[in-house]
Amino acid sequence: MTSQDPQEPPAAQPPERRLDAQEPEAQESSRRAEAAARLSEASTRAADATAKAADDLRGRSRKLFDSLSARSRGEGWEKPTGELAKYRSGGRAALRFVLQRIVFRAVVNSAVTPQVQVHRRVRSVRGPFVLVANHTSHVDAPLLAMSLPWTQARFLSTGVAADYWFDHWHRRIFVRLMMNAFPIDRGGSRKHSGTSRRLLRSGVPILVFPEGGRQQTGSMAGFKPGAAALAIGVGVPVVPAAIIGGYEAMPKGRSWPVPGRPPVRVVFGDPMIAHEDESAVDFSTRIQDRVAILYDEHYHEVLGDAAGGEEETA
């Protein structure tokens, strides 16, 4: 006679217990996968939002940059301190007005017949910029400063050789008062490296002669890309200018213009802005082409007609 044990577990029970033990692990794995998916989606949305914000910022910046006359272009630059504060001194600017616009103008008028042509958009430029011109004679810098509208020329600064103009106190005082000049190193020294960039960031426009020296034969030499690189790096426009008749009036080797008050015309062209992703070399080439066009457009008229006067183009 046999008996059946009512407590004997069914044969399928152990596998069911193993399945129940795996369920928490499967659920945890599923939760992790869902969390990873949500995190990836959130990261994608954040990246898209950041890209859109960057595009919007570039768009607003470009509109502001393109609007050369915007009031905000003349504001918001770093406040110059220490030695740089002199370059935005109102008192020095007033003295410079007298020296450039009265004293030097009288001297220039006695020696040559100056003419000025200013593109209308130059008068609307606010804030710092890089003034770029061909280099014909020793009087180019004060001639450009004297010819540029005062609103734009008030704090215009020019780089001069440190080893000559800043070596003696009387020369240093003269170029600082007359041209708001800053020193440029020659011969490998880097003592004053970065001054032009700091001036631009402080709201001070600068004058650059990209040829690197005065013309030897009256023909314009190739432009070095330094001026274009400065404009791109700081984010400022370039004002191109051409001096026509300067070499003929005062060729290299002369300390005074030739007799007869020869005509010399300064032409300020439409301000230029670097294209997006444009290299300094390419921008410099465009600037040189623009200066050459301004020069060629006026060459025969200036040398064939000594009539003076100031003009303005649209």
State percent of the chain over pLDDT 90.
51
Residue type, 153: A
Q: Which residues constitute the domain of residue 276?
A: 80-313
171 inside domain: yes
Distance (Å, rounded) from C-alpha 194 to C-alpha 96?
24
pLDDT score at 314: 43
Per-residue pLDDT of 129-170, as tens digits, reads 999 999 998 889 989 999 999 999 999 999 887 877 788 888
| 160: nearest Cα among 91, 244, 152, 145 | 145
pLDDT band at residue 16 using 50, 70 and 90 as cut-offs: low
Residue burial 165-178, b: 16+ Cβ < 10 Å; e: rest: bbeeeeebeebbeb
DSSP 123-144: GG--S--EEEE---STTHHHHH
Q: Report the number of distinct structural domains present in the chain.
A: 1
Q: Is the pLDDT of residue 65 over 60?
A: no
Give Dmax over CA atoms of the chain in angstroms: 148
Residue 124: give its domain's CATH number: 3.40.1130.10
33 inside domain: no
53 inside domain: no
Q: Are 132 and 208 contacting, i.e. CB atoms less than 8 angstroms apart? A: yes
> Which tops the pLDDT comparison, 41 or 259?
259
Report in angstroms the alpha-carbon separations of 199 from 23, 26, 154, 240: 70, 65, 14, 19
301 inside domain: yes
Report in angstroms the alpha-carbon separations of 129 from 16, 65, 225, 267: 81, 12, 16, 17
207 inside domain: yes
54 inside domain: no
